[in-house]
């Protein structure tokens, strides 16, 4: 919703780029938690099952929305620039972010499909991280050492951003959307999943101390990242500060889902939007662009109409595309896999994890963390 409100062009400052950072952190945390569960039970990771889940979860909706946006643009219904075959190839093969760095946000792209830059970062992460995590588990038995290695990678990315900005005068887009400069936003979530995971490592955080000290520090860190307007800071240290600050927020939200504002994350309609979050993220910028082209009203009315249309499209995609793909994914991934991979599949199925069958398959008991018994849908999508 932060990203949607920012793209809707409302006359108030909305930190949409922070919404993407949360999206990255969440992805790293979820994927690494699933891999950790699998390795803990199987002492191995099934790359076949992992990539099967990722392919059927991401690519059908990815290419459907991309094809619709390109078709509407080619037919002249959306306007926009002349489409480029090079842009189409870049988006098809998950290189949107580097295409934008080279050509700009507008040249050759169907309106709204520029958000595919973040999916490119995600796809690059999915391609490399399972192997890295497997190597960490086999070479380093200590979760603390695994986390240190991942933290060192985050430090290297920060150093690289500083070299680009302070030494080479790189543009804002170069550090904002390129995989080599934003992958640390995902890795911070991976670190939390590896060491001090609030869903698996209950003994690593003192509850009251975490809420009394860690949470306020995390909020303060985010406020500082928003308040500092220096462009060089925003292009370098801001992403690191936000990644570190999100750690206590995630711990508090997962371990204490019924306290303060965190209970909002578990409301039924919020969980339902969590089911739609992926398709909603992909369709909304094209819908906003189309509404602003065809409906000449205030930005507020345009935004409300675009939100309604985006939700309706997302609901349709969820029922027509995502649910059938989920059923297919579950059938195919059952072949030749162990119980831990099956549990990972069930944990990954948004909206089904709260059922008794889902709780039994995930191995959750009354003594396990709340996220394993009743995880927020948004966190599992």
10-residue block means of pLDDT along the chain (381 residues)?
A: 90 88 96 95 92 93 96 87 92 96 93 95 96 95 95 98 96 95 97 93 66 88 95 96 96 87 89 93 95 90 95 96 90 59 49 35 33 37 34
Distances in Å between the alpha carbon of 221 and those of 238, 245, 247, 251, 326? 10, 5, 11, 15, 38
pLDDT of 359 reads 35
Token pair of 261, please?
């504002």
SS3 205: coil
Nearest to 225 by CA among 239, 206, 213, 215: 239
- pLDDT at residue 203, as a whole number: 65
CA distance 368 to 93: 40
d(CA 284, CA 286): 6
Checking 327-330 for CB contacts under 8 A at 24+ apart, the result is: 328/56, 329/52, 329/53, 329/56, 329/57
Region of 123 (left: φ > 0; alpha: ψ -120 to 50; beta: rest) is alpha
Three-class secondary structure of residue 180 per DSSP: helix
Q: Are 335 and 345 in contact (CB under 8 A)?
A: no
The reported pLDDT for the residue numbered 20 is 95
How much is the pLDDT for 155?
Answer: 98
pLDDT attached to residue 226: 95
Q: Give yes or no for a contact between 218 and 248, defined as CB atoms under 8 angstroms apart.
A: yes
Name the pTM for this structure. Answer: 0.86
pLDDT value of position 348 = 53
């Amino acid at each position: 919703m932060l990203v949607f409100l920012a793209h809707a062009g409302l006359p108030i400052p909305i930190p949409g780029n922070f919404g993407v950072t949360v999206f990255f952190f969440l992805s790293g945390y979820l994927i690494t938690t699933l891999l950790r569960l699998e390795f803990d039970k199987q002492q191995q990771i099934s790359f076949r099952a992992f990539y099967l889940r990722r392919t059927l979860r991401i690519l059908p909706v990815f290419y459907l929305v991309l094809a619709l946006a390109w078709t509407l643009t080619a037919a002249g219904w959306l306007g926009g620039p002349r489409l480029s075959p090079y842009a189409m190839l870049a988006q098809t093969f998950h290189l949107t972010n580097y295409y934008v760095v080279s050509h700009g946000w507008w040249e050759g792209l169907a309106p709204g499909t520029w958000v595919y830059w973040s999916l490119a970062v995600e796809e690059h992460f999915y391609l490399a991280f399972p192997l890295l995590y497997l190597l960490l588990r086999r070479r380093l038995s200590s979760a603390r050492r695994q986390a240190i290695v991942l933290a060192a990678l985050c430090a290297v990315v920060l150093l690289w951003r500083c070299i680009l900005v302070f030494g080479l005068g790189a543009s804002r887009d170069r550090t904002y959307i390129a995989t080599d400069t934003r992958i640390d936003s995902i890795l911070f979530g991976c670190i939390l999943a590896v060491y001090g995971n609030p869903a698996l490592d209950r003994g690593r955080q003192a509850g009251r101390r975490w809420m009394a000290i860690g949470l306020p520090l995390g909020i303060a860190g985010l406020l500082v990242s928003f308040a500092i307007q220096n462009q060089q800071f925003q292009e370098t240290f801001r992403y690191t500060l936000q990644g570190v600050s999100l750690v206590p927020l995630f711990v508090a939200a997962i371990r204490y889902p019924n306290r303060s504002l965190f209970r909002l994350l578990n409301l039924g309609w919020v969980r339902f939007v969590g089911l739609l979050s992926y398709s909603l993220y992909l369709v909304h910028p094209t819908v906003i662009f189309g509404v602003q082209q065809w409906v000449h009203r205030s930005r507020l009315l345009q935004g409300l109409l675009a939100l309604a249309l985006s939700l309706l499209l997302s609901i349709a995609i969820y029922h027509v595309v995502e649910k059938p793909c989920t059923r297919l994914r579950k059938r195919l991934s059952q072949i030749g896999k162990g119980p831990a991979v099956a549990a990972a599949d069930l944990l990954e199925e948004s909206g089904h994890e709260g059922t008794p069958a889902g709780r039994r398959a995930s191995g959750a008991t009354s003594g396990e963390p709340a996220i394993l018994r009743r995880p927020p849908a948004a966190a599992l999508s």
